[in-house]
Structure formats: C-alpha cells, structure tokens
Amino acid sequence: MTVDNTFMIKKLQAMKTLFAVYSPLTKMPYVECDQETFDDQIHLFADLETAKTFCQENAKDKVPMAIRKLEEDKVILDFYHELYQNGVNAVVYHDEVNQTRMELETIIQIPDWSKMKQRPVFNPLIQLTAAYFFQEARRPEQPKDNPERNRRLHELEEEMLVNITRGNLLLPVIEQPAQEGEDGQKRLGAVIVKNNKDEVFQPIFTDLTELARMYPNAAKEFKVIAVPFSKLVTQVLKDSQGFVLNPAGFNMILNRPLLTLIAQRFAQPEEKE
C-alpha cells in the first residue's frame, strides 16, 4: 500500500533549518539500509534535541554520530544534491511526533542527464559503498575475532573496491607555463599532500563536491582531468606513495601495492592493462 506523503514532503521542502546526522568516521551523512524497503537512507531532524537523542541512542551501540545544522535554502538544496551524488535515495524526516520516510526524488528534482551535453563526473556507488564500509570498519571498540562481522566487512570492502575500478576519478593538476622550446604548450604539474610521516600522496576525488571540500578555490587553482582506474597507475609520481581518495571525506589511501591488488583482483578483464 502506497502512503501519501504529500503534506510531509511540502513541509520538509519549506523548512528553513534542519539538522542532519553525519558520521565522523567518513565526514559524510550517516547512511543506513532500511531492513524492509532496502532504501539507502539518511536521517533529518526538525529540532536539535530530537537529533541529539537519536545520536545518544546509537552511541550505546558504539555508532559515532555528529550533527550538522543546515540553514538557508541554498545550503539545504546543496545538501540534497550531495545525497544524490552519494547514492542516497531516501530521507527519514523526524519532527516532534513522527518519522516519515520519503524518496529523495520526491523532495528535489533529479537531473535528467539525457538533456545535458556532458554528464559531470560523480560516483554514487563508490561514495555509498565506501560510507557503509568505513562506518563499520572504523567503528570503535569492536571485536576483531568476530567471524560474522569480519565476513560482513570483507563483503563491504570488496563491493567498494569493485566500484572503484569502474569509476572515472578526478585528478587535479596545476597548469604551468611552457618552457622555452615547447611551442607554447602548458605543462601539467601534480598536486600533492603529505601525511604526518611526511610521505607524499596525490589527492584524487569522486566528484567536484568532494574536490571543493578539500580545495574551495579549485576552479581557479587547478585543471581537473578525469582518469579511469585502469590509468591511475600511470599517474603516480616517482616520489609518491600513491593516491588519497576524497581526503576531506572518507579519506582512503590507495598506495601502490593496493592499486596493484585492486587491479589484479577486481578490475574487469577489459579494464586490465
């Protein structure tokens, strides 16, 4: 039986302040799979106290959560678009008395890519499967010898790695002036980051939203190229340990050994070099 949520949808669309639950383990909205509908859903709240209670209840099960306040129409709309890019398809809205599940496409208009000349690069399956994996893998105080949990982690990790091999990822580069004798062509320099051990990595991103989270002025500072996974290894600098995927988000290290392992185990035959 289909439930008519028209009133609640309009109420949510009219809200000027909302509170979203985030995972500090991924720096992304906390996502869960509904056991009945199998929706990949997040939680939104009308007031702060209800959101705090929700987070406290989950903390009993060692599920870390944080609250982000969303204000103004643009911020809220950008948040919904972020959900779409993250593979989330439903929102559970909590007001003073009710919990209402709504499909994301009933709240905002989903872009029709068939009418656009060029589809922007984004990877909802990478974002979604990485969220599920890191929410559990980084969960504190969990037993390391639980066979059921380890089996589940292995499944989540494999699903994430398969999706990484199927995506185009965004690599920022710096355009450098041509040197004498190069016919005026600009050279491309690498963007690098370092960890606390002073090791060099190259940042790479699933989408422009993640790029802007790390580099708010990226459009002015960098040229961005889309690189399929099969070509990533050719982009590793001599002195680089590899890549860091979405460093301001779930922050996954793709070092040289892992890149090789992923290519050998998970890449499709036509993707392997």
pLDDT tens figures, 57-97? 999 999 999 999 999 999 999 999 999 999 999 999 999 88
Domain interval for residue 55: 6-107
Round to whole Å and give the CA distance between 207 and 250. 13
Residue 99 lies in a domain: yes
In a domain, 129, yes or no: no
Q: Token pair of 243, please? A: 């890549």
Count of domains for the chain: 2
Query: Looking at the structure, do residues 85 and 190 belong to the same domain, yes or no?
Result: no
pLDDT per residue as tens digits for the range 214-224: 999 988 889 99
- Does a structural domain hold residue 77? yes
* Count of helix runs (H) and strand runs (E) in the chain: 10, 14
149-176 tens-digit pLDDT = 999 999 999 999 999 999 999 999 998 7
Beta bridge partners of residue 171, listed in sequence order: 225
- Say if residues 50 and 94 touch (Cβ distance below 8 Å): yes
The first and second tokens of residue 111, run together, are: 């872009």
- CB neighbourhood size of 235 (10 A): 16
pLDDT range class, residue 47, cuts 50, 70, 90: very high
Does residue 137 sit within a domain?
A: no
Average pLDDT of the chain?
91
pTM: 0.91
Whether residues 79 and 165 share a domain: the answer is no
Task: Look at residues 107, 126, 159 and tell me which one is the last residue of a structural domain.
Answer: 107
